[in-house]
Chains A and B, each alone.
Chain A
Amino acid sequence: MNVKLNFWVDLATFAGFLVAMEPRATGITIHEWFTVAAVGTLIVHFVLHWDWFMKLTSRFFVKLFHSSRLNYLLSILVFIGFISIMVSGLMISERVLPFFGLDVPARFAWRRIHDLASNLTLLLTAVHVALRWDWVVAAFTRILIDPFRKPRKIDPVLAEEDGI
């Protein structure tokens, strides 16, 4: 897996998520179009971790209680969380759906789900990041700090992705 690509996709997803969490900062129009467009980035993020996900799926019941297993469950919850945010967002949409001439029956529950799913997903994402903290530090150091210092050293945390 490409550490640099992963790092930038992760960072873009994180920054986009934070901005999306505050629709008043951008206004509803930007909030809706921006998040609909960001669906692609989210899916790319999941696809880039396909091998990790499949490896853990096959190993899931072999060794119980391990942080990677917890993160595996968390990543499924985060995935469901984002789907809930998107579906509920579309159901309360004031710009995107009307733009396509679609009119869905508004239900108050969707507003609640949108708000609740956003806050819960933020919390789950924070724990998800925390469980991969060693990777975050190693990738951050390699991509943003190492180019300014020499000589470069090999980080054991990234060795697997580097194929070492």
Chain B
Amino acid sequence: MTFLFRFIIVLAAAVGLGVGLYYTVQMLPDDVPSFDPGDARVRLEGDNSQIGESSLRPEENRPEGFEGGERDRDRGIRLYALAGVIRRFVMFSVITFIAVVVSKLLKRKPARAKTQTS
């Protein structure tokens, strides 16, 4: 019962903050819907046939089957992209490692100061 009560409170806090964020961002002045600097380059340097496609993101102009392509981004689980998960894991581990070392060093400092004064 206590668990359910706490669950509802945390959920309510999350929804409250979420609604606040929603209205804050919606109140911001209008933004450009899908501008990508790559489009401007296409318009300036590309041949005329590209102009009509300038709203496409650069990835969409890549050949079929290109790994980073937007077009095949919804074809289910793809193994090559697991490298991305591993990359994030390594990044996370490095940050954690640095933070652990720093926090241990900071915690040790007062102890050393104490032994020096005594």
- From known contacts A108-B31, A130-B96, infer whether A83 and B17 are also in contact, taking CB-CB under 8 Å: yes
A43:B7 contact, CB within 8 angstroms: yes
Q: Once the chains bind, are A21 and B74 in contact (CB under 8 Å)?
A: no
B31: A residues at CB distance < 8 A: 107-109
Q: Is B77 an interface residue (CB 8 A)?
A: yes
Q: How far is the CA of A15 from the CA of B72 in the complex (A)?
A: 24
For the complex of A and B, 3 pairs with smallest distance between CB atoms = A130-B99, A25-B81, A126-B95
**Contacts A19-B85, A67-B103, A126-B99; is A29 near B14 (CB within 8 Å)?**
no
**B33 close to A (CB within 8 Å):** yes
Is there contact, CB below 8 Å, between B85 and A18?
yes
Q: Assuming the A-B contacts A27-B77, A106-B33, A108-B35, are A22 and B85 also in contact, with contact meaning beta carbons closer than 8 angstroms in the complex?
A: yes
Which positions in A face B, CB cutoff 8 Å?
18-19, 21-30, 43-44, 46-47, 50, 67, 79-80, 82-84, 86-88, 91, 106-110, 113, 122-123, 125-127, 129-131, 133
Q: Please, which residue of chain B has its CB at the minimum distance from the CB of A79? A: B14
Q: Is the CB of B99 within 8 A of A131?
A: yes
Contact with A along B96-115 (1 / 0, CB 8 A): 11111001001100000000
Chain B contact residue count (CB 8 A cutoff): 42
Contact B92 A25 (CB under 8 A): no
What are the residues of chain B within 8 A of A23 when measuring CB–CB? 73
Q: Nearest Cβ in chain A — how far from B19, in angstroms?
A: 8
Query: What residues of A have a CB within 8 angstroms of the CB of B3 in the complex?
Result: 47
B100 and A133 contacting across the interface, CB-CB below 8 Å: yes
A130 to B51, CA, bound (A): 50
| B97 neighbours in A (Cβ, 8 Å) | 130
Complex contact A108–B96 (CB within 8 A): no
The smallest C-beta distance from A47 to any residue of chain B, in angstroms, reads: 5
Task: Determine how close the nearest CB of chain B comes to the CB of A69; give it in whole angstroms.
Answer: 13
Q: How far is the CB of B97 from chain A (nearest CB, A)?
A: 8
Q: Scan residues 12-34 of chain B and give those whose CB is less than 8 A from a CB of chain A.
A: 14, 17-18, 21-22, 25-26, 28, 31-34
- A133 near B10: Cβ-Cβ < 8 Å: no
Q: Complex Cα distance A43/B12, Å?
A: 11
B37, CB-defined interface residue at 8 Å: no
State A113–B21 Cα separation when bound (angstroms): 11
Contact check, B103 vs A83: say whether CB atoms are below 8 A apart: no
Chain A, residue nearest B87 (CB): A22
Tell me if A87 and B85 are in contact (CB < 8 A).
no
Nearest A residue to B34 via CB reads: A108
With the chains together, A22 CA to B88 CA distance in Å? Answer: 8
Contact in complex: B96, A129 (CB < 8 Å): yes
**CB of B114, distance to nearest CB on chain A (Å):** 16
